[in-house]
Amino acid sequence: MIRILRSLTLVVAVLLLLAVTGHAETDKDKKGEKRSGGPPPARVVTTVATVAMVAPEAEYIGTVFFQEVSDIASEVKGRIETVNFEEGQRVGAGTKLIQIDSEILASSLMATRATYGQVGANLEKARIDFKRIMRLYEKQLASGKDYDEYRFRVKVLEKQLASLRAEVAQIKAELNKKSIRAPFGGVILKKHVDRGEWLSPGSPVATLAKDDIVEIVVNVPENVVAHSSVGMVVEIDVAGRSIKGVVAAIIPRGDVATRTFPVKIRVDNRYNLIEGMAAKVRLPRDERIEATVVDRDAVINSRGKMVLWTVKGGKAVMVPVKVIGYDGSMAGVSGAGLGKGAVVVIKGNERLRPGQAVAVVGEGGEPKEPTDKSGKPVKPKQ
């Protein structure tokens, strides 16, 4: 009995020891999880804000237009035999759009060429005869009347041959005009005719737009005109993209009612912009002023507001900003606490949250004290 009690006591002690040990390990695991839990610091690239002169800008709404639009017309009359295009189709320069029936003209060309050949043969014979009579005339074996007759016969045939040559060229030119071709590469905006219709000279067949380059026309007040110039590079927001354009012309005639003036901005149409699109154009409205300048990648749109992120104490801080203007890859901004030396995030800023820990992996970090060659801190000169 005593042995049984001792055995039971030993078993209970072992079970209690295992329970205590397991609980301690669980607490240790939980503490370890607590220490290692939470998201890791966000990896960002930063740069340091500077101060520079920036031209204040304003945003104006403009409209996209094709640079060149042509109503292609027929130069000759005739019945349309084939139509080789549809609206919206892209065509290259020289593409045949319309073929006009040319059967009668082709027959006329064949007949004229045959006559040309016959007159050419007669001229060749007349020249041989003239050379023969000229030798006889020089030996006084032929009369002057015969000499003149053969000489004028050659001249008449030469004139006839020249006339037929011009007629052949004219018929060939008319035949070429029976094929209506695209004068330049572009896109068909409108189809005016169908197969079987009769065309008269001047009848439009298609409207073609040259769309490799487009123009954005924006009406601006006179203070903007005063600070704009031909050749100036400007920022444009269109079709969900931010692109650049060049001021091509400032039209020196304003709208009396609105006191605005049209400015044409030329854009290389690599983004397939189409006529009628709205475009937001940023143009200078005043003289340059001193402003805090950051890399333009630092400024992002967050829920309809322009913001940038700074790094303070290893944490991300969101700062609402107002964009004063752009200068190439830089942006002039104003915002609370911003100034020269502020550390701003230029990469990795799209997914940051206020107060989130950050790890700077490139271009800067928070400003550090100046050091000498050995790495020891040195005091800046007063």
For 186, half-sphere exposure in the C-beta direction (CA atoms, 13 angstrom radius) is 24
Cα gap 212→56, rounded to integer Å: 31
pLDDT on residue 377: 47
Tokens of 63: 């409209």
Task: Please report how the helices 144-177 and 103-138 are oriented relative to each other, as an axis angle in degrees rounded to 10.
Answer: 160
Tokens of 243: 């692109």
Phi, psi of 68 (to 5 degrees): -140, 125
Q: Using CA atoms, how far apart are residues 97 and 86, in angstroms rounded to an integer? A: 9
Q: pLDDT tens, 109-131?
A: 999 999 999 999 999 999 998 89
Query: What percentage of the chain carries pLDDT values higher than 70?
Result: 85
Any idea where the domains of the chain sit in the sequence? 39-54+288-367, 102-177
Smallest CA-to-CA distance from 343 within 295, 371, 310, 375 is with 310
For residue 97, give both structure tokens: 């759009």
- Asked whether the predicted pLDDT for residue 34 surpasses 70, the reply is no
Fold of 39-54+288-367: 2.40.420
Note the pLDDT tens digit of each residue in 258-288: 999 999 999 999 989 999 999 999 998 888 8
Whether 184 contacts 93, CB under 8 Å: yes
Q: What would the mean pLDDT of 174-198 be, rounded to a whole number?
A: 95
Phi, psi of 132 (to 5 degrees): -65, -45
Q: What is the pLDDT of residues 248-264, one digit of tens each?
A: 999 999 999 999 999 99
Q: How confident is the model at residue 87 (pLDDT cuts 50, 70, 90)?
A: very high
d(Cα 178, Cα 80) in Å, to the nearest integer?
9
Domains 39-54+288-367 and 102-177 agree in fold: no
Choose the weakest-confidence range: 30-39, 161-170, 326-335.
30-39
Q: Cβ of 254: how many Cβ atoms within 10 Å? A: 16
Domain 102-177: which CATH number of 3.30.1380, 1.20.1740, 1.10.287, 3.30.1690 = 1.10.287
Write out the DSSP string of 117-133: HHHHHHHHHHHHHHHHH
Secondary structure tally for the chain: helices H, strands E: 4, 21
Among 184-193, 309-318, 328-337, 359-368, whose mean pLDDT is lowest?
Answer: 359-368
Locate tokens 């800008």: which residue?
A: 57
State the number of CA atoms in the 13 A half-sphere of 78 facing the CB.
22
User: What are the structure tokens assigned to 211, written together?
Assistant: 């769309």
Enter the tokens of residue 62. Answer: 């403009």
CA 353 – CA 258 distance, rounded (Å): 45
**Residue 54 to residue 290: CA distance in whole angstroms:** 6
Q: Which two tokens stand for residue 57?
A: 């800008």
Question: What is the bridge-based pairing of β-strands 358-362 and 42-48?
Answer: parallel
Contact 91, 186 (CB under 8 A): yes
Q: What is the mean pLDDT of residues 139-162?
A: 90
Residue-averaged pLDDT of the chain: 85
E strand or H helix at 20: helix 2-36
Q: Could you tell me where the DSSP H helices lie in 139-185?
A: 144-177
pLDDT tens-digit series, residues 306-334: 899 999 989 999 999 988 887 777 888 98
Residue with tokens 């911003």: 338
Q: Single out the residue of 185, 189, 209, 263 nearest to residue 68, CA to CA.
A: 209
Calpha distance 99→109 (Å, rounded): 18
Cβ atoms of 273 and 65 within 8 Å: the answer is no
**What dihedral do alpha carbons 20, 21, 25, 31 form, nearest 10°?**
40
What is the total residue count of the chain?
382
